[in-house]
């Protein structure tokens, strides 16, 4: 199967799973449909589905056709947690953005309170999915819960976001401070996606460590490219408002290093990620072309 067909097959299965594993609206029982409308509004607005695709790709690379539990509920859980972080990041008290995934942000479409609750509900739902879809193998459920809660906690995603907010207007941020923010705000969830795929596939501890290392490099490359696109692309292409970081005086890889050096850094992190993934048993793994593809992405 060629690269695009494979990517499309993964994303198609994720879209079906998102519909299946997120509460419908209207619910079959009486209740506030508005919260489920808001959850589905942001989830189904699209997005690249990078994190669930990484989970499925890592699962495929490590399971090598052996029967395993279904990776799709975990893939949906990761996308729910990611979407919560986007909804909250767009709120007026954070980035105050009007556009996400090409449509009005949750608080613009609904209101701030609903957007806050939709984010909270998606976060909770992520753990609900893991706890209830893998409970026939409690050790697996526990490992998945530990992996996702570590990535989303105050020492990773939320800590990275806190540091990012504290660093606003700090135009003299050091390169290692910036790496700290993005290793936690962006790379932690990329790592968790890959590791979760490996866990469901029954990967060894050494293979999980390889996925984690590759994920860290890939996450950093992804963020550097995000900064480059933010400086060079349009709202129409990105589906979100570009140039906001620079406008509020935030340091980015581009403001700190310049465009050319940022491109070099993205290339280096991509190469390091590929070197890690080459150590996995499946030498034709989809993870390799996927990592290369992300370097030249346009949105």
The residues binding ligand GRG (CB under 6 A) are 47-48, 50, 85-86, 88-89, 101, 157-158, 161, 185-186, 223, 226
Q: How far is the CB of 112 from ligand GRG (least distance, A)?
A: 14
Nearest distance from residue 62's CB to ligand GRG, in Å? Answer: 23
First to last CA, the chain: 24
Residue closer to ligand GRG (CB basis): 89 or 191: 89
Cβ-based nearer residue to ligand GRG, 60 or 227: 227
The alpha helices in 110-156, defined as continuous H runs, are: 112-133, 138-152
Nearer to ligand GRG, 101 or 216 (CB): 101
Q: How far is the CB of 137 from ligand GRG (least distance, A)?
A: 29
- Which is nearer to ligand GRG, 50 or 129 (by Cβ)? 50
Beta strand ranges found along the chain (DSSP E): 99-100, 103-104
Shortest distance, CB of residue 151 to ligand GRG, whole angstroms?
A: 11
Task: Please choose, from the candidates 45, 46, 58, 19, the residue with its C-alpha nearest in 3D space to the C-alpha of residue 286.
Answer: 58
Q: Which residue is nearest to ligand GRG (CB)?
A: 47
Q: Note the Cα 43 to chain centre separation in Å.
A: 12
CB atoms within 10 A of CB 171: 12
CB of 100 to ligand GRG, least distance (A): 7
Beta-bridge partners for 100: 103
Q: Report the C-alpha gap between 88 and 229 in whole angstroms.
A: 22
Gap between the Cα atoms of 214 and 291, Å rounded? 10
Comparing CB distances to ligand GRG, the nearer of 253 and 286 is 253
Q: How far is CA 85 from the centre of its chain?
A: 9
């Amino acid at each position: 199967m060629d690269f695009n067909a494979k990517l499309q097959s993964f994303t198609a299965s994720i879209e079906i799973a998102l519909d299946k594993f997120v509460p419908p609206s209207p619910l079959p029982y009486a209740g506030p449909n508005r919260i489920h409308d808001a959850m589905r509004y942001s989830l189904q607005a699209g997005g690249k589905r990078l994190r669930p695709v990484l989970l499925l790709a890592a699962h495929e690379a490590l399971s090598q056709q052996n029967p395993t539990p279904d990776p799709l509920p975990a893939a949906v859980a990761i996308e729910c947690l990611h979407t919560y972080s986007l909804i909250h990041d767009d709120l007026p008290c954070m980035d105050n953005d009007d556009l996400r995934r090409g449509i009005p942000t949750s608080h613009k479409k609904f209101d701030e309170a609903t957007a806050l609750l939709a984010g909270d509900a998606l976060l909770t739902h992520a753990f609900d999915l893991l706890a209830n879809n893998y409970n026939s193998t409690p050790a697996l459920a526990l490992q998945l819960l530990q992996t996702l809660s570590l990535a989303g906690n105050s020492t990773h995603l939320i800590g990275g976001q806190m540091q990012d907010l504290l660093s606003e207007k700090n135009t003299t941020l050091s390169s290692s401070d910036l790496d700290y923010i993005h290793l936690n705000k962006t790379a932690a969830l990329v790592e968790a996606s890959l590791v979760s795929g490996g866990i469901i596939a029954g990967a060894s501890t050494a293979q999980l460590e390889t996925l984690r290392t590759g994920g860290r490099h890939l996450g950093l490359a992804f963020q550097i490219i995000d900064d480059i696109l933010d400086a060079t692309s349009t709202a129409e292409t990105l589906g979100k408002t570009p140039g906001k970081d620079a406008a509020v005086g935030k340091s980015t890889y581009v403001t700190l290093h310049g465009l050319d050096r940022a491109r070099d850094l993205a290339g280096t992190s991509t190469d390091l990620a590929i070197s890690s993934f080459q150590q996995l048993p499946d030498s034709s793994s989809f993870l390799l072309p996927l990592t290369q593809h992300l370097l030249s992405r346009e949105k």
